[in-house]
Amino acid sequence: MPAFCAPDGTRLAHRVQGEGDPVVCLPGGPAGSLDLGNLGGLSTHRRLIFLDPRGTGGSAIPDATSSYRRDRLVDDADRFAATTAALLDY
């Protein structure tokens, strides 16, 4: 699974499916992106960008537990919103 390093050095995994306008997909709670399934075939119409939040799925556990914050999650997801993207947050 592709990954990138957040500014604090945490390795964050993501996967992309489909073509078209982007939708950044964030799973809820301790879930990883695979828990979202295929979203009913939405990838036939949109480019789905699934992010494994910190400490879930293929993403690393951060050194500082203080980085498990909503504002940090927004910063991590913002990497994929080039100019405009829809957000699906479960």
* Ranges of each domain in the chain: 3-89
Banded model confidence at residue 82, pLDDT cuts 50, 70, 90:
low
What is the structure's pLDDT at 12? 96
Number of residues written out for the chain: 90
CA angle at 53 for the pair 3 and 49, rounded to the nearest 5°: 60
| Tokens 């945490």 belong to residue | 10
Contacts of 14 (CB under 8 A, 6+ apart): 1, 2, 3, 4, 33, 49, 50, 51, 52, 80
Banded model confidence at residue 56, pLDDT cuts 50, 70, 90:
very high
Phi and psi at 44, nearest 5°, equal -75, -15
Per CATH, is 3-89 categorized as 3.50.50.60? no
- State pLDDT tens for residues 8-42: 999 999 999 999 999 999 998 889 999 998 899 99
Q: What is the pTM of this model?
A: 0.87
